[in-house]
Amino acid sequence: MAKKAIKPRTSAAAQLSPPVPARFSAPRPAKEDTSVDLGQRLKRMRFDNGWTLEDVSQRTGVSRSTLSKIENGQMSPTYDVLQKIVRGTGLDIVELFDTRQQSAPFGRCSITRRGEGRSHQTATYHYELLATDLAHKQILPFKSRVVARSLDEFPNWVRHQGEEFLCVLSGRIQLHTEFYAPVILEAGDSAYFDSKMGHAIISLSREDAEIIWTCTGIASIE
């Protein structure tokens, strides 16, 4: 049975973008990440395992040139690239963002104070990863500032394994998905969707919209 498209709110219909193209145009050049911690940790783990860039490329499906740029702090990887890396290498995402680890199988608790999460910036989203002191989590929680204002800022759909849930904390976003009509979400609104379905989010408010986000399929690599 065909899925029924979600209708946007009538009052905001005029703000909807044109129909989503199958492939977006005008990809934005990679933005340099001011923090090189991620790249340094990835390189160290590669050396510890005795892997060459070609080995990691074969395991992850990420090109050697992209891996080299990440390791040297010349490129900030997107969420789907990060997922390919951790899935292909068997690493936990916590290992890439924080040196602290906790491996207790149950009874775990993590508190992240405001502004104390691990920052990771891309051209479209500015992430703050939460509970980074816990390794092998079943979900990956983070806050995100949506800085993208147009689909032209995405080279293509974002897609990866798992499912995700988001709730708008402030501002207004437009959620684009591969199989549904675009929908506008305001503060307090939420969405749950299959991460394998292409998706992208842009901010419609004057200030960057802020959302709380949780994803499965990447946080725990068993």
Give how far Cα 123 sits from Cα of 50, 148, 172, Å: 32, 7, 18
pLDDT category of residue 206 using cuts at 50, 70 and 90: very high
Its pTM stands at 0.57
| Rounded CA separation 185/75 (Å) | 30
List for the chain the helix, strand, coil content (%; round to 5). 25, 25, 55
- What's the rounded mean pLDDT across residues 18-39? 52
Q: Is the pLDDT of residue 168 over 80?
A: yes
- Residue % of the chain over a pLDDT of 90: 36
Q: Which tens digit of pLDDT belongs to each residue from 70-98?
A: 888 888 888 778 888 888 887 777 666 65
Helices (H), the chain: 37-48, 53-60, 64-71, 79-89, 93-97
Q: Which tens digit of pLDDT belongs to each residue from 45-76?
A: 887 777 888 888 998 999 988 888 888 888 88
- Is the pLDDT higher at 66 or at 7? 66
Q: In 3-state terms, what secondary structure has residue 121?
A: strand
